[in-house]
Amino acid sequence: MAAVLRRGIVAEVRLSFEGYSPTCEGLGESPKMSKQAVPVHEKYPGTGFVILCLDGPNGEQARAVATADHLKYIETVMHEVNVAGPLYDPAGMRVIGSLYILATTNEARAHELIENDPYYQAGAFGEIRYQPFLPAAGRYIGGKIW
């Protein structure tokens, strides 16, 4: 993944997916339409995991204690992170969680990456949700996969 930063804003990010085919035949097919249903990560090699981490009641305090270590940790696993960052309340004033889009198709590895994060270890997160994810369109992936 390469990013071009302009005044602190990501202007362009392109992800490369090993084995990715720009035609991605069958994109949009439901399992009923497919001859054989297969997990999304087997059908499209560019898949990963989205992890939504919502802060618990001690989130703000845990973040204050763990931020420096969290940032150091993220630097050590950056090669496995497509996008990550804080989530804010609707007013954009207070951090309420974190979003990670990881470049792994292995759910156990996704759990390991989150559970080794100092925010997790400090008890910042009250709820964590792991979802397989196919980045299919947008500026972050440099267009579309179909």
What distance in Å separates the CA atoms of residue 101 and residue 39, rounded to the nearest whole number? 18
Write the pLDDT tens digit of every residue in 13-49.
334 444 433 334 444 544 444 457 877 777 776 689 9
Beta-bridge mates of residue 143:
138
State the average pLDDT over residues 66-71: 98
CATH value at residue 22? 3.30.70.1060
Least-confidence region, from 21-25, 72-76, 83-87, 92-96:
21-25
Query: Is residue 39 a part of any domain in this protein?
Result: no
What's the chain's average pLDDT?
A: 81
Domain, as residue range, for 12: 2-30+45-144
Instruction: Specify the number of domains making up the chain.
Output: 1
Is the pTM of the predicted complex or chain greater than 0.85? no
- Strand, coil or helix: 2: strand
| pLDDT 10s digits, 122-137 | 999 999 999 999 988 9
Residue 126 lies in a domain: yes
24 located within any domain: yes
Tokens (6 digits) for 19: 């084995």
Can you tell me the distance from the alpha carbon of 98 to that of 105, in angstroms, rounded to the nearest whole number? 20
Of all residues in the chain, the percent with pLDDT exceeding 90 is 61
Give the SS3 label for residue 85.
strand
Cα separation of 48 and 83, whole Å?
11
Query: Has residue 70 been placed in a domain?
Result: yes
